[in-house]
Amino acid sequence: GAVVSQHPSWVICKSGTSVKIECRSLDFQATTMFWYRQFPKQSLMLMATSNEGSKATYEQGVEKDKFLINHASLTLSTLTVTSAHPEDSSFYICSAKKGGAGNTIYFGEGSWLTVV
């Protein structure tokens, strides 16, 4: 099946710093990628939809200036958590849609962010 890779898997950063998480589709081109956040024992919460070559669409309540999303190519989207705070500590997961409507979405392995 299709592979989506996230990096880093684990990251610890200090409050006030920024951290970038990469999401790559390794064997297919993804015109659309999605970023989710998941707290322990809770479901996935969509943060934003990222389309290649255009600005991301953010869900209500998600700060655009805090969570910067760049989808510069058909195989790479990045999420940058700016000026991180301890409450930003979470599990961040990306996914990539392989084609048009109805195609399967493949998920990365997720990235654990801890802000200290």
Partner 1 sequence: SQKIEQNSEALNIQEGKTATLTCNYTNYSPAYLQWYRQDPGRGPVFLLLIRENEKEKRKERLKVTFDTTLKQSLFHITASQPADSATYLCALDTGNAGNMLTFGGGTRLMVKP
* Residues contributing to the site for partner 1 (CB under 8 A): 1, 4, 6, 31-32, 34, 42-44, 46, 49, 51, 91, 93, 95, 97, 100-102, 104-110, 112
b/e map 46-60, b = 16+ CB within 10 Å: ebbbbebeeebebee
Within a 10 A sphere around the Cβ of 36, how many other Cβ atoms?
20
Shortest Cβ distance from residue 83 to partner 1 (Å)? 26
Pick the closer one to partner 1 by CB: 77 or 95: 95
Shortest Cβ distance from residue 15 to partner 1 (Å)? 23
Pick the closer one to partner 1 by CB: 15 or 104: 104
101 burial type by CB count under 10 A (0-12 exposed, 13-18 middle, 19+ buried): exposed
Pick the closer one to partner 1 by CB: 80 or 91: 91
Within a 10 A sphere around the Cβ of 32, how many other Cβ atoms?
20
Pick the closer one to partner 1 by CB: 24 or 97: 97
Euclidean distance between CA atoms 73 and 62, whole angstroms: 23
Shortest Cβ distance from residue 73 to partner 1 (Å)? 17
